[in-house]
Amino acid sequence: MKRLLSNETVTLRALEPTDLDTLYRWENDTTLWAVSDTVAPYSREALWHYLQEYTGDIYAQRQLRLMVTLTSDGSPVGTVDFFNFDPLNNRAEMGLFIAAEHRGKGLGRQALDLLTAYARDHIGLRQLYVFIGLDNEACLDLFASYGYRQVGVLKSWVKRGRDYHDVALLQMIL
């Protein structure tokens, strides 16, 4: 029997209080802020409250965040998110993060596969979409290879420093 949120390599699981230090490190990595819309560091206390109050109920919170772990030993390698969840139209924006030391191993694609199946088969979503900077070729290639189609380019959409950058809007109909 196929497991819903796991395969031989990666498992998607709920956030746990023990994820505090990992999330603190990832959320405060300033090299990632340009793709996450973060503008200031998170305190441990703020992340602790987030973990304490987080229910994982996509209908109540309009988001779902899961930890991507290695199936073999449970070590965290990234996160996946549904956010801006719209239950009326059965769609959500999606986010995928794989820590730098784990990139290039196919883990992102496997997490994307599990998350997409979960969205379609369990939550009943009709479509997923992502915004990806045009300079993020690896991410654009991953989503395109998975079947996401670029449906537009938003000019000067994100600000990094003093410069504005274009982003692609990619969509997948499930």
Q: What is the pLDDT of residues 60-73, one digit of tens each?
A: 999 999 999 999 99
Residues facing 142 on adjacent strands: none
Q: Is residue 112 domain-resident?
A: yes
Q: Is residue 132 domain-resident?
A: no
Helices (H), 87-130: 107-118
Residues facing 94 on adjacent strands: 82
pLDDT band at 156 (very low <50, low <70, confident <90, very high): very high
What residue type is 52 in one-letter code? Q
Q: Whole-angstrom Cα distance, residue 17 to residue 52?
A: 7
Q: Is residue 79 domain-resident?
A: yes
Higher pLDDT, 54 or 149: 149
Number of domains in the chain: 1
Residue 37 has pLDDT above 80, yes or no: no
Q: Is residue 85 domain-resident?
A: yes
Q: Is residue 169 domain-resident?
A: no
Q: Taking residues 47-70, report their average pLDDT.
A: 93
Q: Is residue 4 domain-resident?
A: no
Pairing of strands 163-173, 64-70: unpaired
Q: Which domain holds residue 104?
A: 10-125
Q: Whole-angstrom Cα distance, residue 152 to residue 80?
A: 23
Residue 74 makes CB contacts below 8 A (sequence gap 6+) with 11
CATH code: domain of residue 59: 3.40.630.30
Q: What is the pLDDT of residues 119-137, one digit of tens each?
A: 999 999 999 999 999 999 9
Q: Is residue 134 domain-resident?
A: no
Give the pLDDT score at 94: 95
What residue type is 67 in one-letter code? M
Q: Is residue 22 domain-resident?
A: yes
Residue 1 has pLDDT above 60, yes or no: no
Question: Three-state DSSP class for 87?
Answer: coil
Rounded to two decimals, the pTM is: 0.92
